[in-house]
Amino acid sequence: MPEPLDVLLSLCAADALGAATEFKSPDVIQARYGAAFRAYQPGSVFGFAPGEATDDSQMVVATLLGAARGEGHAGVLAAFREWLAAAPPDVGGLTRQALRLTFTEPQRLDGGALAWERGGFDGAGNGGLMRVAAAWLLGHRGAALAREAAVLTALTHADPRCVYASVFLTAFMEALADGQAYAAAAQAALGVMDSLDARDVLVEAGVLGLHTQDAHRAFRGREREARAQVRARVRSGLDGTVTSQSGYVLDTLEAAVAHARRADWWACVEPAVLGGDDSDTVACVVGAVVGARGLSTPPELLPELRLGHSWPGWDRGWIATQHLPNVLARAARSVAGTTSSP
């Protein structure tokens, strides 16, 4: 069973590698960096220095910081808003809108549904998928993991494609961490996804409710097709298909499944980095999956690994290996205490 800290470091290191190639084409990447990419490099379009992980890892850590407050999902949203208020170099448009819509009513959890409504129910980016590994890192397992993945994602990304992609991903991580073979773990995770009534979970959590009835109806009308689309992309990823490394959630999921099936950490992460486009997010998701497989982050990547932003609870200059253990431990203790309370 891989240690959660090792999985967290894996996704952060992969993300930091992808920071340099984000929004570049494979041809541009090869011309600038060569055919191999096995060290942190300059060139981030958002100004991240070599070794600095992007908004993907930052929001995983923000989730942990929020969970440590012991205030449930309202605490996670408060941590997200603190991260956003500190002006991160990069933040997704749907994430920004979802967090701002309920800024004056911080106990509300329906900002993601409101943002989805305002976007004409067309927002299916990867901003929830990129950070949902936090649900597994926090120690949720089984049905509780599936529910937590759905809610954490829908806090900002309420499209059922986003929600069910995240439910699959965390169940996939759990199955891999339990030692299942890659394809068998994917099949088991699809079964978890198919068995979850995500709409009911989101209503119970308050993500869908009185103020988001249109989103509720849209989710209900689209969730069957969303599950079918996730299932198709997972199966094509298992066959090695990478349609695109765009910010569309199903492109990211398919690419991550395709890359992360290879033999060792570099063989999985390097193609995601060299693929460009939304390479930091694809690499981050790959890093989470290969970490769950128990593949170790190359030790040469750890001494300079940092997060490229400062906000309450984290300083940009901190070395990840020195500070992430405490962040993760505090969050896991808080969640364990909450779930064990009568």
- Taking only the tens place, the pLDDT of each residue in 114-129 is 999 999 999 899 999 9
The CA–CA distances, whole Å, from 168 to 49, 222, 232, 234, 253 equal 32, 17, 12, 9, 9
Domain ranges of the chain: 4-340
Whether the predicted pLDDT of 339 surpasses 80: no
Rg (alpha carbons) of the chain, rounded to whole number? 18
Q: Is 277 labelled a binding residue?
A: no
Q: Residue 280, annotated ligand binder?
A: yes
Looking at the chain, the whole-number percentage of residues with pLDDT higher than 70 is 99
Residue 56 assigned ligand-binding role: yes
Q: What is the mean pLDDT of residues 191-201?
A: 98
What is the arithmetic mean of pLDDT over 87-103?
96
CATH superfamily of 4-340: ADP-ribosylation/Crystallin J1 (1.10.4080.10)
Handedness of CA 243, 249, 250, 253 (dihedral sign): positive
Encode pLDDT of 144-168 as tens digits: 999 999 999 999 999 999 999 999 9
| Residue 102 assigned ligand-binding role | no
Extract the runs of DSSP E, i.e. beta strands, from the chain: 52-53, 306-307
Mean pLDDT value of segment 260-273:
98
The answer to whether residues 128 and 170 touch, using CB atoms and an 8 Å cutoff, is no
Whole-model pTM: value is 0.97
